[in-house]
């Protein structure tokens, strides 16, 4: 067994969840700050911390009132301790710590990326070990090798922006609003349809793509992401175009990003050998990307696991899913330790 109360506040989602065995979600109220940050075109860290502070109490009350929890009822309290916005993390950590004291339960700290990758457990899959973890969100673009719980090795990270950030900034340039990923996808789909390409069918429009292939000369034995160059290329193309075909720009931009991610995953599979792939983070909502990743995993003959969409973006249930791995294997989480000054800042 493992009844847990979990907290997530690493970025712009305030989440609390009551989860059984790290697999069955009993309740997972979530407050998304997207509307609050929209006027700024991105996340304002100080506003994020304040919103977490205001929202944790009502979300927690919702769970406590509905489930009548008493001290001794919980097996543990789980919380994201890193990486993330420092102020935002601190609010979550203090809330979780107070609950752990009140419920007389141990506190298990979790790495945010480990939580994203453990989210597959919420849809009936086990986290396979060893595995590769592809993490694509508004703040991260990286591939990890997961050896066992608490043993995550970065195979390659981004040199500059994250994939979601590149989509958000592109949407800002094209005047499409925030968050950008879904809007770029919508416009790209409209363009594909206008050219007779139906969802699921590969396009043959590569020769028309005005954007450069990202990190074209990246060696096969390297995993490395970069999105700032293509973002600048988009800005230039947009500013210099007499007639601005937003749908076409969105389509070709998204194509380059999808190609770059897929190529990096292929490199990772060549380097690490065939291992199941867990892909997580908000960018995985993108259907074009999912199809491309499915294709590459099929080619390598490896399993691709993607959490259900509602657990792809930040949420607290995934924090319990990761913490349960420590709980049920009787392991000490290396992310529970926040005593060493800058622990919240270190990945």
Q: How far is the CB of 45 from ligand KG4 (least distance, A)?
A: 12
Any contact of residue 84 with ligand KG4 (CB under 6 A)?
no
Q: Please, what is the Cα angle at 131 between 13 and 12, to 5 degrees?
A: 10
CB 5 within 8 A of CB 316: no
Of 93-101, 117-125, 227-235, 275-283: span binding ligand KG4 (CB under 6 A):
275-283
Any contact of residue 276 with ligand KG4 (CB under 6 A)?
no
Q: Please, what is the Cα angle at 260 between 255 and 261, to 5 degrees?
A: 100
Which of 20, 27, 24 lies closest to 4, judged by CA? 20
Q: Which of residues 297-316 bind ligand KG4 (CB under 6 A)?
A: 313-314
Q: What is the DSSP letter of 295?
A: H
Any contact of residue 141 with ligand KG4 (CB under 6 A)?
no
Any contact of residue 138 with ligand KG4 (CB under 6 A)?
yes
Phi, then psi, of 196 in degrees rounded to 5: 80, 15
Any contact of residue 83 with ligand KG4 (CB under 6 A)?
no
Please give the Cα distance from 165 to 154 (Å, whole number): 20
Any contact of residue 185 with ligand KG4 (CB under 6 A)?
yes
Nearer to ligand KG4, 56 or 227 (CB): 227
Nearer to ligand KG4, 103 or 227 (CB): 227
Any contact of residue 286 with ligand KG4 (CB under 6 A)?
yes
Nearer to ligand KG4, 107 or 296 (CB): 296
Nearer to ligand KG4, 114 or 314 (CB): 314
How is residue 273 written in tokens?
Answer: 């050998």
Nearer to ligand KG4, 133 or 180 (CB): 180
Please give the Cα distance from 326 to 302 (Å, whole number): 26
* Number of residues near ligand KG4 (by CB under 6 A): 20
Any contact of residue 168 with ligand KG4 (CB under 6 A)?
yes
**Residue in 282, 304, 311, 318 binding ligand KG4, rule: CB under 6 A:** 282
**Residue in 53, 63, 167, 223 binding ligand KG4, rule: CB under 6 A:** 167
Half-sphere exposure of 129 (CA within 13 A, CB side): 12
What 293-301 contacts at long range (C-beta under 8 Å, 24+ apart), as own/partner pairs, is 293/134, 293/261, 293/262, 293/265, 295/262, 296/262, 296/265, 296/266, 296/269, 297/265, 299/266, 300/266, 300/269, 300/274, 301/274
DSSP bridge partners of 135: 142, 280
Nearer to ligand KG4, 83 or 138 (CB): 138
Write out the residues near ligand KG4 by the rule CB under 6 A.
11-12, 137-139, 164, 167-168, 179-182, 185, 281-283, 285-286, 313-314
């Amino acid at each position: 067994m493992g009844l847990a109360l979990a907290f997530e506040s690493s970025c712009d989602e305030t989440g609390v969840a009551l989860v059984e065995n790290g697999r069955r979600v009993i309740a997972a109220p979530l407050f998304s700050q997207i509307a609050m940050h929209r006027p700024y075109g991105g996340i304002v860290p100080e506003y994020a911390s304040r919103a977490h502070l205001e929202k944790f109490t009502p979300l927690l009350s919702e769970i406590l009132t509905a489930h009548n929890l008493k001290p001794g009822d919980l097996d543990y309290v789980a919380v994201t301790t890193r990486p993330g916005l420092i102020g935002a993390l601190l609010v979550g950590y203090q809330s979780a710590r107070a609950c752990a004291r009140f419920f007389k339960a141990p506190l298990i700290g979790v790495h945010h990326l480990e939580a994203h990758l453990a989210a597959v457990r919420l849809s009936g899959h086990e986290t396979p070990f060893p595995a590769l973890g592809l993490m694509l969100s508004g703040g991260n673009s990286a591939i990890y090798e997961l050896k066992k719980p608490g043993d995550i090795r970065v195979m390659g990270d981004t040199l500059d922006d994250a994939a979601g950030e590149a989509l958000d900034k592109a949407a800002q340039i094209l005047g499409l609003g925030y968050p950008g990923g879904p809007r770029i996808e919508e416009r790209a789909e409209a363009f594909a349809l206008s050219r007779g390409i139906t969802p699921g069918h590969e396009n043959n429009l590569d020769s028309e793509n005005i954007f450069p292939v990202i990190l074209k000369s990246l060696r096969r034995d390297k995993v490395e992401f970069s999105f700032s160059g293509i973002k600048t290329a988009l800005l230039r193309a947009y500013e210099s175009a007499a007639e601005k075909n937003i749908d076409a720009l969105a389509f070709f931009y998204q194509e380059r990003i999808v190609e770059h991610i897929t190529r990096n995953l292929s490199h990772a599979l060549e380097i690490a050998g065939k291992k199941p792939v867990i892909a997580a983070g908000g960018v995985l909502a993108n259907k074009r990307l999912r199809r491309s990743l499915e294709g590459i995993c099929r080619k390598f003959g490896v399993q691709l696991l993607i959490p259900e969409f509602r657990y792809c973006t930040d949420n607290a249930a995934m924090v319990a899913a990761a913490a349960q791995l420590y709980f049920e294997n009787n392991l000490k989480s290396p992310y529970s330790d926040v005593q060493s000054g800058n622990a919240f800042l270190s990945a």
